[in-house]
Amino acid sequence: MNGYGFRHGARMEWIKLRSLRSTWWLAIAAVVSMAAAGSGVGLGYRSHTPVPTAAQILNNSLGGAVLAQLFLGALGVLVVTGEYGTGTIRSTFAALPRRWIVLAAKVAVSGGAALTVGLAASFAGYLSGQLAIRGTAIPAASLGDPAILRAVVLTGLYLGATALIGVGIGTIVRHSGAAIGTLFGLMFVPMILAGLFGEASIPVGRFVPLLMLLNSIAVTSPVPGLFSGWISSLLMCGYAAVTVLGGGVLLRRRDT
Amino acid sequence: MIELRELTKRYGNQVAVDGLSIRVQPGVVTGFLGPNGSGKSTTMRMILGLDAPDRGEALIGGVRYRDLKWPLTTVGALVEAGAFHPGRSARAHLTALAVSNDIRGSRVEQVLRVVGLSDVATRRAGTYSLGMRQRLGVAVALLGDPAVLLLDEPVNGLDPEGIRWIRDLLRGLAAEGRTVFVSSHLIAEMALTADRLVVIGRGRLLAETTVAELAKSDDSLEDAFFRLTSQAIDYRGGAWMSGSHARRMGAS
């Protein structure tokens, strides 16, 4: 009977995560990219005619999530591949030979961290968009409006889920460059393909992460034909679960 | 005590470790010798549960590694030189491992002192010299104050002072009654450090002997080592010789 459990794995992973500079740089980059996109959108619309709606400002000011997801996805990938690349994974598995515990701890710790950063980034995008339109005729978007709050929160959730997809792909691929390439490919290629077919692609496109983000999750009301924001977000969590479970199955079998 | 029973590992058609059965006793330093590629590291990884054997098993005090209650407080291992994230400090690396096995934080400072890294403990491991990394690896092995120590090529990259330090450390740990299993391809170094020797070639056991016995059998330990390991290669060439015969010769 092992004396250690999930709690021990989680404490170890938390120390490992916060003791790397790359974690902090990626987190800062995610927040900054959304804040910059938010204020850019707000400033761009200041003198726009006709006066844009609150929804227009909100939808666009969350657009920085396209960039933020790459930073947080990379963060998730590196939580795993950073250990394979350096050999640290052997120390980790020697300390906790039950590998599922290690994977569960990585998911919980990096997922929790990415969700927190994702929410912070999303609120930063919203707030800087709102700050940039202050003093204009553009109506403010209040977080008291459930549609606004939902879009901001679900965008944060989407970013957290992206990091977990990164953890899963990292566990499957084990090589930093290849895993990050795979993740970015999975994010952009389906969207580009769907884009080729325009509206005809909606039955498939509504399952594509980036299209869900831009047309269902980070908007006040989804584009017709797409799932609601909540369903799209759940789909993202489902993708994360599938990649993590796939990684876990391989992790048990493989030598390190 | 470490016990290997018919431990076997294949990579495709290549047999890395071939029916290896040995016992490593406490209280002495046991050297694990063999040429490069003879299966030493693979054996070490299988003992630690990192690689799964195709056949046989590796037991530590009668228990498989994955079934140990607190692995790091039972077995301390140096698997690979510089197996640290270059961006993480020695202290953070050790602390992370300590919390995973409920090892108190003061033990981290203690092992940092033992290996002489206290002053650089906050520096990122990527800035360390090879010798410092090796010392950090030893600190990891000592972290849980384990009764069994497993070190894969610990003297690689160390300067003469560091080599003597490792030697004295290992002998001291064995004198405390611990099981110390050290791999090396340097017979001269093992002659000074180890009491017992396990010699393998091409994944097979060639000899399980003592330094004293091996030294008696030939002009020098080095000659004895070459004689043993060349047989491992002849074996491949078709000159059939049973493992037990090789063992007898090694022990004669």
Q: pLDDT of A186-197, one tens digit each?
A: 999 999 998 888
Does residue A63 register a pLDDT over 80?
yes
Q: Find tokens 């980034």 and name the residue.
A: A121
Under an 8 A CB cutoff, do B79 and A22 touch?
no
Nearest to A96 among B75, B100, B140 (CB): B100
Rg of chain A on CA atoms, in Å = 19
Rg of chain B on CA atoms, in Å = 18
Is there a domain that residue B39 lies in? yes
Nearest to B85 among A8, A20, A97 (CB): A20
Is there a domain that residue A229 lies in? yes
**So what's the pLDDT on residue B248?**
44
- Work out the minimum CA distance from B223 to partner chain A, whole angstroms: 35
Residue ranges in chain B modelled with pLDDT below 50 = 234-252
Q: What is the mean pLDDT of residues A114-118?
A: 98
Is there a domain that residue A181 lies in? yes
Distant-in-sequence contacts of B128-133, Cβ < 8 A, 24+ apart: B128/B90, B130/B81, B130/B82, B130/B156, B130/B157, B130/B158, B131/B157, B131/B158, B131/B159, B131/B162, B133/B81, B133/B82, B133/B84, B133/B157
Is there a domain that residue B234 lies in? no
Under an 8 A CB cutoff, do A255 and B51 touch?
yes
Under an 8 A CB cutoff, do B80 and A21 touch?
no
Q: What is the mean pLDDT of residues A129-155?
A: 94
Under an 8 A CB cutoff, do A8 and B97 touch?
no
Number of separate domains in chain B: 1
- Work out the minimum CA distance from B162 to partner chain A, whole angstroms: 23
Instruction: Please give the torsion angle defined by the CA atoms of residues B87, B89, B95 and B96, in that order, rounded to the nearest 10 degrees.
Output: 10
Distances (CA, A) of A54 to A136, A227, B223: 12, 22, 85
Q: What is the mean pLDDT of residues A222-231?
A: 94
Residue of A nearest to B64 (CA): A97
Which residues of chain A have a CB within 8 Å of the CB of B133?
none
Give the range of the structural domain holding residue B172, as residue numbers without chain letter: 2-204
Is there a domain that residue A122 lies in? yes
Domain CATH code at residue B163: 3.40.50.300
Is there a domain that residue A1 lies in? no
Is there a domain that residue B165 lies in? yes
pLDDT band at A160 (very low <50, low <70, confident <90, very high): very high
- Work out the minimum CA distance from B83 to partner chain A, whole angstroms: 4
Is there a domain that residue A98 lies in? yes
**So what's the pLDDT on residue B233?**
59
Q: Mark residue A85 as left, alpha or beta (left: phi above 0; alpha: psi -120 to 50; beta: remaining).
A: alpha
- Work out the minimum CA distance from A243 to partner chain B, whole angstroms: 23
Does residue A242 register a pLDDT over 50?
yes
CB pairs under 8 A between A and B: 104
Is there a domain that residue A163 lies in? yes
Number of separate domains in chain A: 1
Phi, psi (degrees; rounded to nearest 5) at A255? -80, 160
What is the rounded CA–CA span in Å between residue A147 and residue A143? Answer: 8
Under an 8 A CB cutoff, do A20 and B87 touch?
yes
Other Cβ atoms within 10 Å of A196 Cβ, number: 8
Question: B199-245: per-residue pLDDT in tens?
Answer: 999 999 999 999 888 877 767 778 888 888 886 654 444 444 444 44
Under an 8 A CB cutoff, do B70 and A97 touch?
no
Is there a domain that residue B100 lies in? yes
Is there a domain that residue B236 lies in? no
Is there a domain that residue A55 lies in? yes
Is there a domain that residue B85 lies in? yes
- Work out the minimum CA distance from A10 to partner chain B, whole angstroms: 8
Give the range of the structural domain holding residue A134, as residue numbers without chain letter: 6-253
More confident residue, B214 or A240: A240
**So what's the pLDDT on residue B48?**
96
Q: Is the pTM of this model over 0.90?
A: yes
**So what's the pLDDT on residue B158?**
86
